[in-house]
A and B are shown apart, each in its own frame.
Chain A
Amino acid sequence: MARIACILVPDLPVAAACRVDPDLVRRPLVLVEATGPHARVVAAGRAARARGVQPGRHTVAQARALAADLVVRARDAAAERSAARALAEVAASLASRVETAADGAVYLDVDGATHLVASERALATALVARATRVGLEARVGVAAGMTVARLAAEHGDGTEVVPAGVEQGFLAPLPLACLGPPPEIASTLQRWGVHRLGDLARLPAAEVATRLGPAGAALVRAARGIDERPLAPEPLPAAVEEALALEYALDNLEPLLFVLRGLVERALARLGLAGIGCARIDLVLGLDDHGRDARTLSLGAPTRDVKAILGCLRTDLEAHPPCAAVVHVALTAVPDAVRAVQLGLFVPPGPAPERLATTLARLAALCGPARVGAPAVVDSHRPGVACSVPFTPSPAATPERPPADGVCRLVVRALRPPRPVEVFSERGAPVFVRGDGLGGRVVGAAGPWRIVAEWWSEDGIARDYYDLELTDGGVYRCYQERGGWYLDGVYD
């Protein structure tokens, strides 16, 4: 027989708001979908309910009369979506077949999950603990079907397990209202004297269907613990998104980073459930001028270091600040497996992969991604051509060759782009050079060496190269091409 667990967060809109701002937990919080004192309260926190505030019945003004220190917040659909996804990821961390209901409750097939945890009770406890890690206070029920599991989560002790075969006994004392019957059916059942699920389960389903229609028959099946349909698992997207609508526009970097810290912490906690790290951050900022600022931050190696990612975000935002104040933030963490590094016994340890990832991202934000990497030799006859490739050192590698002793090579410093110079010649040999920042009589010369390359293309080169030592102290690499003289390197 299948075993299903249901994990749900009572009053998800309030829980999502408290997840974004944990200070709200102890304060009388109400959520509204409109503005002004006549806006209807759509959800209320525990403290507000304790003062008598009733969602759907009271307006903000009425609620404020009951609780003078009432905190009123707009309902945030983005934060609710993030919370619901986080709950689904909690379930997915312990089961492969997961279904998310429309109201945010999550069902998971826990049949055979006892190889991960000792018992179903321990499984429920683990789910509650993992939900706490992502900032949600969840309740869990485990039973043979989705309906019973849900009712166990709602009406149990928080980690309720209904053993197989005793579902009817668990359901019988529950009030009829816990199935949420339509008002007209509920009043009919009241007239019949049916107050509890046990009373309803004893009625013949066909007779109830004749009198109350298909909805009545469905209620009877639910009261007997029979599901209308089996679990319909759906794959979860790999990327983790955390979003937040701000109450007011942020026009300064520090408060924006404060907001981003919360988003990053929550996103990484979710990735941590699966033991993976973040390889890329996609940040979308909704701007006050109705514009949108989208940016991607690639990390050199997957990481779950909040400080590191915040450092990268800070560098990127400092280098390229948004063009208007920010009113909405959506952060997507694209995951990848955290790299394990095997250090070598006889080679120095290089930078730690996570630190290196952060460092590369910060350097890329500072200098530009194309200006940070490992140098690579280009397969070209054109002197001075350079490119860089992604920097991925292998710390465990052994030295390629034994260190040479006492050999010091003279290298050329390239001038990019080549600098035009004036060269005076006598009998075909350069005798004086004049240019920007240099100039002097030639005291040593070698050349010319002809370099012809890429003659098949339009930008092919045909150059006569010279090495020239001038009286200004420099030894230069010059070339003559199409009647002009250029300096493209300095020996140093």
Chain B
Amino acid sequence: MRKKELKLVVAFHTTADAMAMEKACKEKSVPGRLIPVPRSVSAGCGLAWCAALEERGQIVELMQNAGIEEEALHECMI
């Protein structure tokens, strides 16, 4: 079983925003992956972007440039 680590989790207002994030990250070769939004941060069932904590600055900049608005940034054990 994979060991859980503290990760950066970006929650979005819509699933489409999460999909746009995946596309933007792939285009800019920013590492990370789509995950179901962790239950600890939401009772909803949308998607979130999961990345290493040290990617925070790069991810925030990418979202601003791509016009993607986050609902919240979290740090979670994933």
Question: Do A and B truly interact?
Answer: no
- A residues apposed to B, CB below 8 Å: none
